Homo-oligomer: A and B are copies of this chain.
Amino acid sequence: MAKHDALSAPVSDSSAHDHSKIPQPTIERLSTYLQCARGLQTDGIAMASSSEIAARTGINAAQLRKDLSYFGEFGTPGLGYDVDALSTHLTRIMGLDKTHDVLLVGAGNLGTALASYMGWVQRGFRIVAVFDTDPAKIGGSLANCKIASLDEIAKVNAQCKALMGVVAVPRESAQDVVDKLVASGVKSILNFAPTGILVRPGITVRNVDLTSQLEVLSYYLHTQ
């Protein structure tokens, strides 16, 4: 686990806050603010007002200030946010100041698409092992990894010690895959299988339900 070290003095220590009180939508927006701060850095902009950030993210300025207030003092009244400092703060808060090793389970179309997804490495995630159950896939290559049998997951992760896993398998095998990931030491899982997953306390599963994204669009289409 990345913990702040003594050299990180200019950055407020997020571990000093009560994280259980921070709403999940706030956490989700932090990622958007971080992307925005990085975009501002790329564009060579050193200071940005909350309304400039609002214009870029589509999240209103009051919400931005409220979200950031959970993590201490940011920005200077009348001047706005120092973009480099904001980027550094958010990177630390999100635990993105180190690269996360990730196990990928499923080397089908979705797994292959995820492995080739732009931006994982730049944003701090590295696939260190890939697993599948299909004998035709095992031994092949994906994301610069040799595809291993799912049965080898405990052995492989005894060496890799990855804490994150991505599940890109059919619905019917998702729970078994999650159980094996957890048994191998994984603590946080991104699940693309369209099914509910049960895990013990202390393990985080985030379900990405792609159809629900379409349902949200349907709502806006319906009410326009």
Contact = CB atoms under 8 A, between A and B. Distances in A.
Interface of A: 1-2, 14-15, 19, 25, 27-28, 30-32, 34-35, 93-96, 100, 102, 108-110, 112-114, 116-120, 123-125, 163-164, 166, 168, 170-171, 187-190, 194, 202, 204, 206, 208-224
A117 B194 contact: yes
B214 A164 contact: yes
A222 B124 contact: no
Nearest to A171: B118
A194 B30 contact: no
B204 A93 contact: no
Contacts of A223: 14-15, 19, 95
Given A25-B25, A109-B113, A118-B170, A1 B213 contact: no
Contact of A212 (B1, B28, B108, B116): B28
**Lowest 9 A-B CB distances belong to which pairs?**
A95-B222, A110-B113, A109-B113, A31-B212, A188-B217, A31-B215, A19-B223, A109-B112, A95-B218
A202 B214 contact: no
A217 B166 CA distance: 11
5 contacts: A25-B25, A108-B113, A190-B214, A204-B217, A204-B224
A94 B218 CA distance: 6
Nearest to A166: B214
A18 to B, nearest CB: 10
Contact of A215 (B116, B123, B204, B216): B123
Contacts of A217: 164, 188-190, 204, 206
Best-surrounded residue of A96, A109, A168, A219 (most CB of chain B within 10 A): A219
A117 B222 contact: no
Contacts of A30: 215, 219
